[in-house]
Amino acid sequence: MGKDVTVAVGLGERAYDILIGPGLIARAGAEISSRLPGIRTAIITDENVAPFHLEALKAGFEAAGIASSVVILPAGEKTKSFAALQEVVDAILAARLERGDAVIALGGGVIGDLAGFAAGIVRRGMSLIQMPTSLLAQVDSSVGGKTGINSARGKNLIGVFHQPKLVLADTAVLDTLPAREFRAGYAEIAKYGLIDQPDFFAWLEKNWQEVFSGGAARIEAIAQSCRAKADVVARDEFETSDRALLNLGHTFGHALEAAVAYDGARLVHGEGVAIGMALAHRFSVRMNLASPDDAERVEAHLKAVGLPWRMADIPGKLPDADALLAFITQDKKVSRGALTFILTQGVGQSFVARDVPPSQVLAFLKENHPG
Ligand SMILES: O=C(O)C(=O)C[C@@H](O)[C@H](O)[C@H](O)COP(=O)(O)O
């Protein structure tokens, strides 16, 4: 086997490993058959990923004696839909897979969330193996068991928690990722620094070019992100308390994604998170929690790496502030009608703020709306 970095997600009987390293798609058959002997699989992937990686995965499966059927879906956020879910569920049932067989999610966050949801509900829960092919999926969405689809009323509003049995993150695939997609995934890496690791954020400010160009710094950033996420998930699997910290930037970001009707030409998830993180820092300044220097530092880093950082960076017209607030009030962190945000006292000092007054949010959205 290769020299992979292994990060353990300590969840008792649902514990699993994240393997991070080059060549894991070709080696997946061997890795899976040694851990889950006799398993059969349905590979769920998309039209962008399949031409690059499906053959290598299938060849490795064949060599390891793993039977597989394949579903190839259109790429993009609009695939996180009931229609696509139905297609995946039908294909799994048509292949007569059993509960102990596995759904393989080969793709980015969209495929991971959708295939994970299907695995969570077919036969009340099948095995799931995440094989993330985007940076965002490798550092975030493939880990932790959040699965689901979108609604026109809001992002990820329909789903279940369903942990994978294994995550195989093949870092070599990142070399062929479009630059915009790589940057979008980088937003989630920066997020871990901004949550509670100021040293990691400072390291990223210094080393982001190396992370973008590949090599040891990239693997280190991915591994550090997975460790940070595994830690939080092990403490609070079902987001009853501080797992919500992982949502930094997502309250604003998800509202913006819904506001553009999940149109990836205008805004992809990681870009929404980047803008959302900048807004969360600015909002914290407005609430007298953080200093303007902190917000400026975050904005400067997002700008340096080429990420959008304000609503004005989204092409086209946005719905007004009231409509954005309406999306925010559908957020899953809302409790008894009260809004929850992840706010900050400075870089790496985020906290969960409950009962944030909607009037303050609305005023802030109006001040920052590009019109
Ligand atoms: O894993 C989590 O918990 C997160 O919040 C990580 C997020 O980066 C991720 O995008 C997640 O899917 C968003 O969750 P949601 O509950 O806000 O839909």
Same domain, 148 and 194: no
Same domain, 216 and 87: no
Same domain, 252 and 359: yes
pLDDT in tens, 126-179: 999 999 999 999 999 999 999 999 999 999 999 999 999 999 999 999 999 999
Same domain, 87 and 226: no
Among 128, 160, 176, give the residue marking a domain's end.
176
**Amino acid (1-letter code) at residue 297:** R
Same domain, 281 and 187: yes
Same domain, 232 and 195: yes
CA distances from 5 to 24, 205, 232, 279, 280 (A): 11, 23, 19, 34, 32
Same domain, 198 and 333: yes
Q: Is residue 3 predicted with pLDDT exceeding 90?
A: no
Same domain, 133 and 217: no
Same domain, 318 and 264: yes
146 lines ligand 1 (CB under 6 A): yes
Structure-token pair, residue 164: 């994978």
Same domain, 66 and 135: yes
Number of folded domains in the chain?
2
* Domain residue limits at 162: 5-176
246 lines ligand 1 (CB under 6 A): yes
Q: Which protein residue has the closest C-alpha to ligand 1 atom 3?
A: 246
For a pLDDT cut of 90, what percent of the chain falls above it?
99
Same domain, 170 and 187: no
Among 141, 176, 211, give the residue marking a domain's end.
176
Among 125, 160, 176, give the residue marking a domain's end.
176
Q: Which protein residue has the closest C-alpha to ligand 1 atom 16?
A: 332
Which amino acids are annotated catalytic?
Answer: 124, 146, 188, 229, 239, 243, 247, 250, 254, 269
Confidence of residue 81 (pLDDT cuts 50, 70, 90): very high
- Tell me which residue of 133, 192, 216 sits closest to 168, measured CA to CA: 133
Q: Kindly report the number of other CB atoms within 10 A of residue 65's CB atom.
A: 11
By the 8 A CB rule, do 314 and 268 touch? Answer: no
Distance in Å, CA 159 to ligand 1 centroid:
11
By the 8 A CB rule, do 239 and 272 touch? Answer: no
pTM, two decimal places? 0.97
Q: Kindly report the number of other CB atoms within 10 A of residue 215's CB atom.
A: 10
142 lines ligand 1 (CB under 6 A): no
pLDDT in tens, 235-285: 999 999 999 999 999 999 999 999 999 999 999 999 999 999 999 999 999
Same domain, 12 and 60: yes
Q: Is 155 annotated as a binding residue?
A: yes
Query: Looking at residue 2, what is its pLDDT?
Result: 53
Q: Is 127 annotated as a binding residue?
A: no
Confidence of residue 215 (pLDDT cuts 50, 70, 90): confident
Q: Is 269 annotated as a binding residue?
A: yes
CA distances from 364 to 155, 285, 317, 367 (A): 21, 11, 18, 5
